[in-house]
C-alpha cells in the first residue's frame, strides 16, 4: 500500500541502401544529446493489436523504452524499421544473428560495423545489452537506432531521419506505413493530466485522480474529506469507483483482482504495481507516455511521476476496465 518514493518518478535492396546510409553516418554531427529516462507524448502511443501479435514481446518493450532517449520519437518508427529490415530479428538470412550479409550489414537493425561503432562511441548504450556493445544484441541495436534517428533529425523531420538510415524513398514510406499499423487508433494519453483522451471510462478514472493532484499522502487515507488525504490504493479505488468499477482496498488485493496484462500493452487508466510476490506495496494509475499519477508515500502529495525509475521494483499491471477475455489476447511476458 505504500513504499519508497517513486523517482519523479525484400531485404536485399534494403541491405544495398544501408551501405549508402553508413557513409552518411560518418559525417553526422552529434550535437543532439537526448537523455536516458526522458519521456515524451510521442514515445508513449499504445500498440495496436497487430503490433502485439506480430512483434515479440521482448522486442516491443525494447522499442518502447529506446524511443524515450529521443524526445518525441514514437516507438513504432523503431518497430517499423525492425520489421522492414529483419522482421524483428526473425528473418532467415545471413547477417541477422551473426555474420554479415553481402553488403556488410548485421544485427536485427542491420547496422554496418562502422555505423554502429560511431553511434555507440557518441552515445553510451544503457544496461541490458552486452559489453562491449554489439550490433547483434537487440537492446544495443535498438537503442543505437533510436540515437541515430535522433542525431539525423527525428522527430522534427522524420522523413529525413529515416532517409538517412536508408537512402530510399520507398524505404521511408514502407517504414512509416508499418509504424502507422503498429500504433493503436485508440488515443493513448499524453502522459500528463492536461491531455486526457476523452470521456471514456479510462478518462473518467484519470480525471478524478488528476483532480486530486497536490492532496497529501495519508496512511489508510480515503480522501481529503474523510481522512485528510489519500494513500496509493485509496486513490485508485476511489478513481475506479467514478467509472462504476469496485476495486478491493489494498494494493495487493487490487493486483490479484486482475486481469493481469504485460507492460507492453499498458493503456491509460490501467493499474501499475510495485513490489514482490510477497509484498506488493504500491499501486498507481497509468497516464500514458511512461507516466503515472499516484499517491507516492509519506510527505509526498498526489502527483504525476515516471512509471520507471532507477532501482524501481515494478511488479506488474492489471486492466480492470477490460474483461479477462480481452486481456487473454495479450499474454503475459
Q: How many domains does the chain have?
A: 2
What's the mean pLDDT in 240-247?
A: 92
Claim to verify: residue 163 and residue 72 sit in the same structural domain: yes
The per-residue pLDDT for 18 is: 40
Least confident range of 17-21, 116-120, 246-250, 324-328: 17-21
Percent of the chain with pLDDT over 90: 49
**Where would I find the beta strands (DSSP E) of 221-278?**
222-223, 229-230, 260-261, 271-276
What's the mean pLDDT in 42-60?
A: 77
> Which structural domain range is residue 103 located in?
49-183
What's 252's domain CATH number? 3.90.1720.10
Claim to verify: residue 177 and residue 270 sit in the same structural domain: no
Question: What's the mean per-residue pLDDT of the chain?
Answer: 81
Claim to verify: residue 53 and residue 179 sit in the same structural domain: yes
Is 70 exceeded by the pLDDT of residue 142?
yes
The per-residue pLDDT for 48 is: 77
In angstroms, the Cα distances linking 61 to 1, 66, 118, 125, 298 are 27, 8, 25, 16, 32
Is 50 exceeded by the pLDDT of residue 3?
no
190 lies in some domain: no
CB atoms within 10 A of CB 306: 20
268 lies in some domain: yes
Least confident range of 30-44, 84-98, 104-118, 154-168: 30-44
In angstroms, the Cα distances linking 28 to 188, 230, 237, 324, 325 are 33, 50, 51, 49, 49
Percent of the chain with pLDDT over 70: 78
Least confident range of 20-24, 150-154, 256-260: 20-24
Q: Is the CB of residue 208 less than 8 Å from the CB of residue 114?
A: no
Is 80 exceeded by the pLDDT of residue 332?
no
Q: Which helix (H) or strand (E) holds 237?
A: helix 232-241
Claim to verify: residue 177 and residue 226 sit in the same structural domain: no
Claim to verify: residue 166 and residue 233 sit in the same structural domain: no
Is 60 exceeded by the pLDDT of residue 212?
yes
Claim to verify: residue 172 and residue 63 sit in the same structural domain: yes
Claim to verify: residue 56 and residue 177 sit in the same structural domain: yes
Claim to verify: residue 176 and residue 81 sit in the same structural domain: yes
Q: What is the total residue count of the chain? A: 333
Least confident range of 40-49, 98-107, 202-211, 217-226: 40-49
306 lies in some domain: yes
What's the mean pLDDT in 280-308?
A: 91
What's 175's domain CATH number? 1.10.530.10
193 lies in some domain: no
Claim to verify: residue 206 and residue 282 sit in the same structural domain: yes
Claim to verify: residue 236 and residue 295 sit in the same structural domain: yes
Confidence of residue 44 (pLDDT cuts 50, 70, 90): low
Claim to verify: residue 152 and residue 229 sit in the same structural domain: no
Cell of 129: 545489452
The per-residue pLDDT for 307 is: 93
Claim to verify: residue 171 and residue 251 sit in the same structural domain: no
142 lies in some domain: yes
What's the mean pLDDT in 247-268?
A: 94
Confidence of residue 114 (pLDDT cuts 50, 70, 90): very high
224 lies in some domain: yes
3 lies in some domain: no
Q: What is the pTM of this model?
A: 0.49
237 lies in some domain: yes
Is 50 exceeded by the pLDDT of residue 22?
no
Amino acid at each position: 500500500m505504500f513504499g519508497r518514493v517513486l523517482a519523479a518518478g525484400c531485404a536485399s535492396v534494403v541491405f544495398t541502401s544501408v551501405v549508402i546510409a553508413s557513409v552518411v553516418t560518418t559525417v553526422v554531427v552529434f550535437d543532439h544529446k537526448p537523455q536516458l529516462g526522458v519521456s515524451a507524448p510521442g514515445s508513449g502511443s499504445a500498440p495496436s493489436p497487430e503490433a502485439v501479435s506480430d512483434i515479440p514481446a521482448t522486442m516491443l518493450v525494447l522499442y518502447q523504452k529506446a524511443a524515450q532517449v529521443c524526445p518525441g520519437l514514437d516507438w513504432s518508427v523503431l518497430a517499423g524499421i525492425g520489421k522492414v529490415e529483419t522482421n524483428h530479428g526473425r528473418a532467415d538470412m545471413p547477417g541477422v544473428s551473426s555474420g554479415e550479409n553481402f553488403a556488410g550489414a548485421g544485427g536485427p537493425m542491420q547496422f554496418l560495423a562502422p555505423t554502429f561503432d560511431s553511434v555507440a562511441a557518441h552515445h553510451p548504450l544503457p544496461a541490458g545489452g552486452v559489453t562491449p556493445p554489439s550490433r547483434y544484441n537487440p537492446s544495443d541495436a535498438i537503442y543505437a537506432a533510436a540515437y541515430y534517428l535522433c542525431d539525423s533529425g527525428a522527430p522534427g523531420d522524420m522523413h529525413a531521419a529515416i532517409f538517412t538510415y536508408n537512402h530510399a524513398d520507398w524505404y521511408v514510406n514502407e517504414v512509416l506505413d508499418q509504424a502507422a499499423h503498429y500504433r493503436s487508433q485508440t488515443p493513448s494519453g499524453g502522459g500528463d493530466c492536461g491531455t486526457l483522451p476523452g470521456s471514456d471510462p479510462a478518462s473518467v478514472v484519470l480525471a478524478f485522480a488528476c483532480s486530486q493532484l497536490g492532496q497529501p499522502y495519508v496512511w489508510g487515507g480515503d480522501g481529503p474529506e474523510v481522512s485528510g488525504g489519500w494513500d496509493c490504493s485509496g486513490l485508485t479505488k476511489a478513481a475506479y469507483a467514478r467509472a462504476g468499477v469496485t476495486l478491493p482496498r489494498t494494493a495487493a488485493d487490487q493486483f490479484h483482482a486482475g486481469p493481469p496484462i504485460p507492460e507492453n500493452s499498458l493503456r491509460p487508466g490501467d493499474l501499475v504495481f510495485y513490489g514482490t510476490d510477497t509484498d506488493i506495496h504500491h499501486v498507481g494509475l497509468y497516464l500514458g507516455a511512461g507516466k503515472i499519477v499516484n499517491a507516492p508515500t509519506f510527505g509526498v502529495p498526489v502527483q504525476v511521476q515516471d512509471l520507471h525509475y532507477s532501482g524501481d521494483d515494478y511488479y506488474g499491471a492489471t486492466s480492470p476496465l477490460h474483461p479477462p477475455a480481452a486481456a487473454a489476447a495479450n499474454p503475459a511476458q
